[in-house]
Amino acid sequence: MPSSVYLSPKVQIFYNGVDKTSAMDWINISITDNEGKDTDKLNITLGYGSPAPRFKDSIEIYIDGFFLGHFIIATIKTKYKRIYDIEAISANFMSSLKDRKSRSHIKLSYKQIIENIAKEHGLNTKINFDRSNEVVELEQHDMSDAAFCEKIANDLDLTFSIKNKTMIFIDRDKVADRVEYSLNEDEYLELNFEQTEIPNYASCEVTWRDTKAGQDKVTIAGSGAPVLKRQIFSADNEAEALKIAKSYLQGKQNSVFKGNVRCMGVPFFAGGYLNLQIESEIKRVIIKKITHTVNKSWISDIEFF
């Protein structure tokens, strides 16, 4: 039986950077924070007596003094004379990050490329992956900066996200410097998990397009079976394709442990480590998604892997 006690949360709402809590007749708040490229979302229901919301205005939410996110209003649904239902998303995904462009990134490290793109959009960066200082030549052809960043993350098996005005690139293999949280058994309202063994792949075969030669090529990392097969859009050369294959292979040498835990509200963010007490052991996982529901109480639903 959980020892958690339902307490009424203290909510602060900053609207366009100004504390408007006293004017906001909020009824329900839901915040979904994702580890990967999916957009973080805020859904908030306001009484009709609240100031009328406007598109592209910013909202910041604090619960019990903890900052839980910065969002930009994208959708407003009105029940006339009753309520406003607002959906707001991570500010940066409504910007020029979605504009297509063509350009070359020549003789720059991955870190420099990411920092340059972030600077163009007024973003901070958090970069922590093994190959960040590797100098490369990358072509961005008719592709938005958001899509280009997603391609880099996919090719290198990284976690990529943009949240709270920060562009984040970190390794997915659980050795990057992530924020660390913990939950004890008596804090769970509910815990569910499953564990599955997956093949320990001996090699990885990637098919890639050599744009200079105008033909498809196959590159293999490791040797023997079973073989992990992947297809990538392009690589600059054989060496780049081999590095991508090695990244895929490294990311698949694991068993799969995943699940979800429900608890009283906690100021955790997706992408962080979570230490879970299971019987007499501590299981370390990564938070994939966390959903905060706030009304008369504050409940956090956490998905992990």
- Beta-carbon count within 10 A of 134 CB: 13
Question: Can you give the pLDDT at residue 1?
Answer: 38
Task: Choose between 227 and 85: higher pLDDT.
Answer: 85
Alpha-carbon gap, residue 284 to 50, rounded angstroms: 43
Question: Can you give the pLDDT at residue 252?
Answer: 63
Q: Kindly tell me if the per-residue pLDDT of 97 is higher than 90.
A: no
Task: Write the Ramachandran bin of 231: left for phi over 0, alpha for psi from -120 to 50, otherwise beta.
Answer: beta
CATH 3.55.50.10 maps onto the chain at 96-171
- pTM summary value: 0.76
Question: Can you give the pLDDT at residue 289?
Answer: 96
Q: Which 3 state secondary structure label does DSSP give 120?
A: helix
Which secondary-structure segment (H or E) carries 117? helix 110-120
Structure confidence by residue, pLDDT tens digits, 269-282: 998 899 999 998 99
1-94+259-305 topology per CATH: Phage tail proteins - horseshoe like beta roll fold (2.30.300)
Instruction: Pick 96-171's CATH classification: 3.55.50.10, 2.30.30.90, 3.30.1280.10, 2.60.40.420.
Output: 3.55.50.10
Helices then strands, counting H and E runs in the chain, come out as 3, 21
Task: Choose between 78 and 247: higher pLDDT.
Answer: 78
Task: Provide mean pLDDT across the span 121-150.
Answer: 91
Q: Kindly tell me if the per-residue pLDDT of 256 is higher than 80.
A: no
pLDDT band for position 248 (50/70/90)?
Answer: confident
Q: Kindly tell me if the per-residue pLDDT of 91 is higher than 70.
A: no
CATH 2.30.300.10 maps onto the chain at 1-94+259-305
Residues in the chain: 305
HSE, side-chain direction, 13 A CA sphere, residue 65: 0
